Structures are given as C-alpha cells and as structure tokens.
Structure 1
C-alpha cells in the first residue's frame, strides 16, 4: 500500500495544466546535459491520484544472478500510438517533441509506492540510444524522490529531487556516458509516479 501523499502547498490548480516550457540547462560534461523545470505541471497531485487509481499497473519479476526477484516498483507502458491516460500527458508529449525537435513516441510509467521501491543505476542505452544522441524526458508526480546521476563507471553524483509536476530531460550523450538511479530510502515518503517520454527505439 503506497504511503499517503503529502500534497504540495503550491499545487492547487484543477484541472492539471502545463506551464511555459522554459527549462534551465546544466551541462554534465562536454557531451551530456540535463534540462530541469520544477513545477512544469500544475495540478500534479490530483493527476497523481488519478493515475495511481486508474493506470493498469503490473508487478514484474526478473532474473537476478541465481534468483528471480520482484522488480521494486510497479510498471505500465504505452506504446507509440496508444492513447495516454490523461489529455495533459498527450499535450506534454507533443510539446516536448516540438521543443526538442525529436518526436517522443512512447511513455513508460513507474510507480514508486514507498521508500522501499527503487531503480538501480542504468542508462537508457538500448536501441538507437546506444550510438546516437537522444532525449529522455521524465515528468514526476507525487512526493519528491531524488534522481541521481553519475558518470558511467563511477564518479561524483549529482542529485535532483523530483516530484509535484517537475520535469527533467536528459540529452546529448547522457544515456551512453552517464547513469541514473532512484535509491531506496528508510525515510517515510509518499508515493511517486515517474512518466518517461522516449523517442522511437530508445529503451
């Protein structure tokens, strides 16, 4: 059962709506960057609750060394052409495509129910992302959780707390040369839903 969501004091707009798409860019190195826009989506807490209740979430199990283990989050995936579960998400995908000059075609949803849910260090470097600069956009709803970034192979970690309608876009060579993760935490935290918009053949 997800922890109760502590709503943002600044997020009282109904229905959910997107603000201007004017992110701040941080260069991770000469070839990789992230754009960050806090609170791009207002009314995010209402949308969080709707998605938590209505998205067809599934639990997965994966092979880990000699065992099969539970994936520590719930998942849902909307393929290219599939109707997204709220019109504002379709608008977000369209506006991101226009802004970055690359069509975002799919949307992956992750539901971090509490501090025990997480995702390990990884890059979205399968398919075209393994050899081509591309974009991955993450829209976060619900309670903030830190997204960590570090150079592939290890190095200093950069931390972005994301929740309540925040947007983070990874671009350039980020998926090939950097890794990102959502760590577990022992602190009591509310649920968070992460929506990852990706272009064709970026996995």
Structure 2
C-alpha cells in the first residue's frame, strides 16, 4: 500500500507500517539544532481525568489547529525546514495530510508520551497518521485498546511510521518513560484534517 514501507500485522484486522526517509530528507546536526531551538518554553496543557496537567514534553502544532483532550492547540505556520517532510508525506503516503504536531523530548528531563489514541475530531475519515522521528531512538509501543499485550517498535533517526485510521481507533500508542534514554528526540506527527 505504501511504497518502500514494511507492513506489520498487529492483529487480523489492523496493520502498522514502518520505513525510513530518503537520504536527502534526513536532517543534519545543524538542522536538528535549529529545530530543537524552536521548542516552546512551556509545556502544553492537556486534560486528563477531568483536570489540566502539563504534558511531559514540549509540543507545537503547525498548519492546522488540533482539537484534543478538551483543548484547541492553535497552529503556527509550518517552518520552512519542515515543509519538505510534509510534501514528501503528501506525495508518498496521503495527499490530504495538512496538519503537523512536533514533539520535543529531552531524556534528561524524563520526557515521554502516555498511551492514547489520537483524537479524530475534524480528522478526515480513513486518513492515516504519519510519525517521523529524529534524534535519539526511543520505544514506540502499541497496545490493543482495552486489550492485553503490546508490540514495540524502535524510533530510529529518520524513521517513518504510518498508523492507518482504523488502527488508531483499535490500538493505542505511546513513548514510554525510561531512564535509559537521556538524549534528545524530535517527532513530527502528520494528520489530515477537514478545514472547511
């Protein structure tokens, strides 16, 4: 389905795709440093169990506002540095991808992402979610929603993951906390939203 990406069967009905960016789209150290330097000063607030808490990482939305956990994360224009990644994702994976969330993880600060399913508010039905990772490797864990067990994948520098729409509804994903990881990781998550 996605040229150059490997399909993994999570269960009899749900798939997950992995691959690597073309060499020309990998960010070099100077570009990574520039991208790291634009992370917000404060953590974004998310709603959990009826109260607002600081997310355990930095986050910024680009391109299209993102509605989730009872909040609206207001979008900024997509940085020039990230535009080629968005264009490649549209050409190779889904031409409706128009919103981008960037997450910055500092291992020394214990940053992580808890298990969740991405909000589908305003998301185009059937459109996949694309995750692109740079920097330190981390574990990307998938769990069946209200089920048992999990499947782990490693987020290597320049890797690409594709979560089909149906898989996002049936499986959670997370970046677990681990003292093993002390470096910096940046992830881009691209989604397709109805902006009408």
With normalisation by structure 1, the TM-score equals 0.76
Identify if the C-alpha distance between structure 1 residues 119 and 28 changes in structure 2 by more than 3 Å, giving closer, same or farther: same
Question: In 1, are the aligned partners of 2:138 and 2:181 still within 8 Å (CA)?
Answer: no
Alignment partner, residue 11 of structure 1: none
Question: In 1, are the aligned partners of 2:129 and 2:165 still within 8 Å (CA)?
Answer: no
Residues 75-104 of structure 1: CA distance to partner in whole angstroms, max 9, x if unpaired?
1110249642234x3222222222234410
Matched, 1:77 2:61: yes
Alignment partner, residue 186 of structure 2: 193
d(CA) in 2 for partners of 1:66, 1:105: 30
- How far 1:49 sits from its partner (Å)? 1.5
Q: Which has the higher contact order (CA 8 A, sep 6+)?
A: 1
Residues 104-125 of structure 1: CA distance to partner in whole angstroms, max 9, x if unpaired?
0011011111161111111113
Within 5 A, what are the aligned runs for 1:5-154? Answer: 22-38=4-20, 40=22, 41-56=25-40, 58-65=42-49, 68-80=52-64, 83-87=77-81, 89-114=82-107, 116-127=110-121, 132-154=125-147
Runs of 4+ with >3 A deviation = 38-41, 43-46, 55-58, 61-69, 80-83
d(CA) in 2 for partners of 1:201, 1:155: 33
Identify if the C-alpha distance between structure 1 residues 37 and 155 changes in structure 2 by more than 3 Å, giving closer, same or farther: same
d(CA) in 1 for partners of 2:166, 2:159: 22
With normalisation by structure 2, the TM-score equals 0.79
d(CA) in 1 for partners of 2:53, 2:89: 35
What is the SS of the residue equivalent to 1:173?
Answer: helix
Task: Give the paired residue count.
Answer: 180
